[in-house]
A and B are shown apart, each in its own frame.
Chain A
Amino acid sequence: MSVNLASARLWRGVPQAIAAIIAVVALAFVVPADGYYLNILMQAVTYAIAVSGLVVVLGYCGQISIAQAAFFGLGAYGVAIGMVDFHLGFFPAWLCGIGVAGILGLILGLGSLRLGGHYLAMVTISFQQILTLFLTNWLSFTHGPDGIRDIPRPSLGPISFAGGHAFLALCMVTLVIVTLAVWRLKTGRLGRAMQAVRDNELAASTCGIDVFGTKVIAFGLSAVLGGIGGGLFAGGFQYISPDQFSFGESIVLLTMALLGGVQSPFGSLVGTLVLIILPEWLRFLKQIYLAVYGAAVILIMVFLPDGLWGLMLDRVRKRAKPILGEVEKLPLLTQTGQESAEIVLEVKELAKHFGGLKALDGISLKVRRGSVHALIGPNGSGKSTFINVITGLYKPTAGQVLFAGQDITHEQPHLRNRAGLARTFQNIRVWRGMTVLENVMVGGERPGNDVAEDAALVVERALAALDFVGLRGDAHRMVGDLSYGHQRYVEIARALAATPKTLLLDEPAAGLNLTEKHELGELLRRLKGHGLTILIIDHDMKLVEQVADHITVLNFGRRIADGLPREVLNHPDVIAAYLGEPQEAAGVVA
């Protein structure tokens, strides 16, 4: 590739950061020394740091946290108690506060994130309430409802932050660093994993992403950012009390993130500024201003779904340029394949029961390396259940799954993908908040993949996979803008970017028109020509006949035939399963 993407990435944002830091330090010193403006800015800046945590957990990872004020409070109390009662310096006390926030965040996340989306919301609400009660009632440690006064400000070597301007500068520099870090996170590997989890957890897990771990990290990071902002808040105002970190404040922080645009730290910054300044502007409304504020929140949700930042981006968003230039082909394409006797995937007596329903009732099959193995059967015969058990989305009731010599029967889905098992879905599961290229990059980033550790190579691999399915020109479009058939190709490209040992295709022809089906057949034949092992489920007999080396037929969760295509398709039981028993049919008619 002509451009060295890796070094470009490493330094991306650093010049801007330096410029921004100089600008904010200058700004911090020209603010009128009058306490009003200084206080408003101090509040906005420290809040904005906490709000950027919500961008990570809610915007990137899609998990609702309603306790950001609690983590903000932990940071603030860390500084206050550490400095006033334990006579620590500001920076060690700040670190303690951040640490406590981070650790509690991890504990809460580990306890609740295995469950569905709203559970984190519930757990964080409880945590928020309990923390407020402790801050108010544990007089000996937290000083109770009166709060803590006279919190000193730090100095670092010769630089003293005791003055308002100097401390504001410290806060602003922190904000710049945090904002840029959160911005860069979004386009990095971890950020992409978070967005994949947000947009579709199942697809994320089958693309090698540890869904639970990613959520815990996102929540932990947001707690840490809350703590960072809170510590500065305590130093900035030099007085804190429990009511500043209540449930209501958590809601304010959440609203700031959503108002500005939760997809971007710049958006959340805009939202924070607006919501700090808006009540000041609305003061002429006197008592009713908070009511207007509440109504404004509803109106924003109705009319500005992506927040203020989204609105601005829509105005300026240009058509992204495609990345031109030759890329190295998929490693697969350098090989030519032949079916071998080696068994890649072996399933023994696999059973899956849903209550009394035996969706799979003792299925065995062997997939040879380099072969295309088709699994067919009427609706409800257990085909999709089979793939879901193989890829770990369902736990089997009995039986064993061996893949590349390993027993993966009880492995987590993402670990199966890392072992080289990739799949597509019957009802397409792409990540709609991301571009086509980003979708495919996540596939290439599965841990253990040859290019996974190098961002530039991942881009190249993703482009190569898109080249292969013919979507290179659409790389920078949002994936949701593509046609249904092309979205399916994105799924295939995503799977191919991971250099799988075996590709599982769950009804790839479903919903495609005739031309698209024909193209898909071509694509599968090309893959087969390069020796990729494929297990395909489909209804389309023509497609199956074209590509399959081997067919297994299921009916009512049992295997009714297994062998070479011609033998299997002429098997009386198979014909009966698809078309009905001739005798019985005759009987009904008579």
Chain B
Amino acid sequence: MAIFLQLLFTGLGIGAIYALVALGFVLLIRAASVVNFAQGQFAMVGAYILVVGVNVLELPYLLSMAIAVVLMAVFGIVFAATTYWPLRHRGGLPVIISTIGASIFLENIVLFLYGPSPEVLPGLFDSPGIQIGEVFMDSQYLSILVAATLLVVLQYLIFEKTLLGKKLQATSQDKEMASLLGIPVAFMILFTFAYSAMLGGIAGMLVAPVLFVSVGMGGLIALKAFAANIIGGYGSIPGAILGGLSLGVAETLGASYISVPYKDAFAFAMLLMFLMVRPQGLFGEKISEKA
């Protein structure tokens, strides 16, 4: 039982990372109908900015994080302007391919600048963690969970309680109507890209001390987040969170009780199972085209 609880804690920690990246995915799907294959590279770029701040410039940890978050927002806008904007009227596929191009570009430009050897980042706190009952709570996993919870609450408040949030929701539901009501749709979409890049970047920074920081770190995270998005329900915000958490738990439990080498297979097996049995996911709705 103790082991189970310990695994549950770790699983939720890693699941929170998937959830944050998945959230970035979902927001872009909703606001701009973009399936962004470079979402994982957002996490990688965020982690590298933090590496520069903490290890190279030797700035305080939290200040580095703050700077990195701002830079990620700028990065998100540049990303949108180059990868999405010129293709926005051409349907889903060209944008997908161009985000794939962007992911190749980002990984290799960072590889060029920083080399292949992984970077090590210290944790946010010096203390290794706290023991509660039989569960040892690693401080970094704890910070991931706390930060993810704060972000989700913050996002809920922004989306549900502010005018900006309402405009964002209106944009995601019906761009034409939103535009007719005087909502600056283009601005809303750029804002979503910036926010989505921030979320991805924060996920990367939080997970950086747990994993090594390497150019390839984003790819697998993004695929899991993608799976989380389907398991939760395509385009659903609560679905992305729940999907991410359950994936994290499932693969942690699977790895320790069933098989370590196939750890990464659990996420995808779970995804396949959902697609076959409950394709609309946990929170999804069935959408049919109107004749």
Contacts and interface: CB of A to CB of B under 8 A. Distances in A.
B94 A301 contact: yes
B147 interface: no
Contact of B289 (A137, A202, A255): A202
A293 B111 CA distance: 14
B43 interface: no
A64 B92 CA distance: 11
B272 to A, nearest CB: 5
Interface string B255-291: 0000001101100110110011001000000010101
B230 interface: yes
A130 B268 contact: yes
A130 B265 contact: yes
B262 A288 contact: no
A412 interface: no
B156 interface: no
Nearest to B289: A202
Contacts of A123: 271-272, 275
B291 A255 contact: no
A61 to B, nearest CB: 13
Interface stretch (A112-120, A185-193, A318-326, A515-523): A112-120
B: interface residue count bin: 35 or more
Contacts of B269: 126, 130
A287 B112 contact: yes
Contacts of A294: 101-108
Interface in B111-160: 111-112
Interface of B: 35, 82-83, 86-87, 90, 92-94, 96-98, 100-109, 111-112, 219, 223, 226-227, 230, 234, 261-262, 264-265, 268-269, 271-272, 275-276, 279, 287, 289, 291
A396 to B, nearest CB: 14
Contact of A122 (B103, B105, B109, B271): B271
A258 interface: yes
A-B pairs with the 5 shortest C-beta distances? Answer: A297-B101, A294-B105, A294-B104, A126-B268, A291-B108
A288 B35 CA distance: 26
Contacts of A397: none
Contact of A112 (B35, B102, B275): B275
Q: Which of B104, B112, B279 has the most CB of A within 10 A?
A: B104
A251 interface: yes
B97 A291 contact: no
A129 B223 contact: yes
Nearest to B216: A248
Nearest to A385: B291
A425 B226 CA distance: 36
A133 B264 CA distance: 8
A511 interface: no
A552 to B, nearest CB: 20
A254 interface: yes
A111 interface: yes
Contacts of A301: 87, 94, 97-98, 101
A451 to B, nearest CB: 27
Interface string A275-301: 000000000000110110111111011
B272 A297 contact: no
Given A129-B268, A294-B106, A122 B100 contact: no
Contacts of A254: 97, 100
A288 B101 contact: no
B101 A122 contact: no
Nearest to B96: A64
Contacts of A129: 223, 264-265, 268
A388 interface: yes
A293 B104 contact: yes
Nearest to A391: B291
A298 B102 contact: yes
A255 B262 contact: no
A290 B291 contact: no
A119 B275 contact: yes
Nearest to B229: A122
Contacts of A384: 291
Nearest to B115: A287
A110 to B, nearest CB: 10
B149 to A, nearest CB: 28
Contacts of A298: 82-83, 98, 101-102, 105
Contacts of A213: none
A255 B87 contact: no
A64 B289 CA distance: 19
A382 to B, nearest CB: 13
